[in-house]
């Protein structure tokens, strides 16, 4: 699991948000999931690629980043949690660095990627056939 964000709960406590590689199961097929507290939501296939293409950009090789953690993904892909302190920032910011075999790595603010993936996972859950059959 890779910590990608934190959210504030109604009681004011911070809750970490993780991206995890889901175990392969016949009903889900594996893939990625967003884990927030005791809730795990499957991330739609291709969502991470789409989000990193939309919000990510090439990492300037001159910029110094601290690599914090890494998660191995399928097909030779990997996602890094990195920290970067710009010359004008006081506090380092968390970014996600997405590596694929055929493209230049893309970097995006972790909070942006986490928000987009959480939104896509929730939207996919709302539009799933199981929800449609129960009327939810």
* Rg (the chain; Cα; Å): 16
Judge residue 87's burial from the number of C-beta atoms within 10 Å of its C-beta, 0-12 exposed, 13-18 middle, 19 or more buried. exposed
Domain assignment present for 135: no
Domain assignment present for 88: yes
Lowest mean pLDDT among 41-45, 63-67, 98-102: 63-67
CA nearest neighbour of 77 among 102, 113, 94, 44: 102
Q: How many domains does the chain have?
A: 1
Q: Which residue has the tokens 């230049």?
A: 104
Domain encompassing residue 29: 2-125
Domain assignment present for 105: yes
Tens of pLDDT along 64-77? 888 999 999 988 99
Domain assignment present for 119: yes
Domain assignment present for 77: yes
Domain assignment present for 133: no
136 confidence band (pLDDT: 50, 70, 90):
very low
DSSP code at position 64: -
- Give the mean model confidence (pLDDT) for residues 36-45: 91
């Amino acid at each position: 699991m890779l910590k990608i964000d934190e959210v504030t709960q109604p009681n004011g406590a911070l809750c970490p948000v993780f991206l995890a590689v889901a175990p392969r199961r016949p009903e889900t097929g594996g893939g990625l999931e967003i884990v927030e507290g005791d809730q795990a939501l499957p991330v739609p296939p291709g969502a991470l690629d789409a989000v990193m293409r939309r919000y990510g950009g090439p990492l300037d090789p001159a910029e110094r980043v601290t690599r914090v953690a890494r998660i191995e993904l399928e097909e030779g892909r990997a996602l890094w949690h990195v920290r970067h302190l710009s010359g004008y920032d006081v506090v380092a910011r968390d970014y996600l660095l997405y590596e694929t075999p055929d493209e230049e790595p893309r970097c995006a603010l972790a909070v942006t990627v986490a928000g987009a993936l959480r939104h896509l996972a929730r939207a996919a859950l709302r539009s799933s056939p199981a929800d449609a059959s129960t009327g939810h």
